[in-house]
Amino acid sequence: MKIAHGTLVVVADGTRLLLFRNEGDRKYAVLETLTHQQQDNPATHEQGTDTPGRTHSRIGASSSSYDETDWHQQAEDSFAQHAAATLEKMAITAPDAGIIVIVIAAPRTLGELRKHYGRETAERLIAEIDKDIAGHTTDDVIETIAAHEAA
């Protein structure tokens, strides 16, 4: 896929957000970093130590327990919501109304992002790529976009 000048490209996973704008043209993409954010998200066992709760039935002697809270996953989901809000703000303030958006994210993060896309983002979105490349170079991002065929 070739991307036009001014295209916004978001690369995210549960802890990193990279927002780029293509300052090149369709032939040679040049991604300029607009935002780079990273969140510290330790493992669940480092965030909470309380044991899961239990429920007792009012009738009989049966009881059941709740699942342990996955604090790590909750933090990743919250970060994805923040990433969607950041993208929406950039889409709204983009100087050109014809700006388009491409999102590249880890599969679970992409699913969470989709829940929180704003109107401007949804209208401008041309491609979603479910690949975890948030820790890779901009050349890898360009290659991933080039290898993707728009739906």
Could you state, in order of their start, the residue ranges of all structural domains in the chain? Answer: 8-38+73-147
The better pLDDT of the pair 42, 145 is held by 145
- Give the pLDDT mean for 14-31: 91
- CB 91: neighbour CB atoms within 10 A? 22
Tell me what pLDDT residue 69 has: 64
Question: What letters, b where the CB count within 10 A reaches 16 and e where it falls short, cover 116-141?
Answer: bbeebbeebbebbbebbbbeeebeeb
Residue 151 reports pLDDT greater than 50: no
Tell me what pLDDT residue 14 has: 82
Question: pLDDT-based confidence at 144, cuts 50/70/90?
Answer: very high
Domain 8-38+73-147: CATH superfamily is eRF1 domain 2 (3.30.420.60)
Residue 125 reports pLDDT greater than 90: yes
Average confidence score pLDDT of the chain: 83
Question: pLDDT-based confidence at 93, cuts 50/70/90?
Answer: confident
Nearest by Cα to 104 from 130, 76, 83? 130
Supply the angle between the helices 71-93 and 107-115 in degrees, to the nearest 10: 60
- Give the pLDDT mean for 81-98: 83
Nearest by Cα to 17 from 139, 134, 109, 145? 134
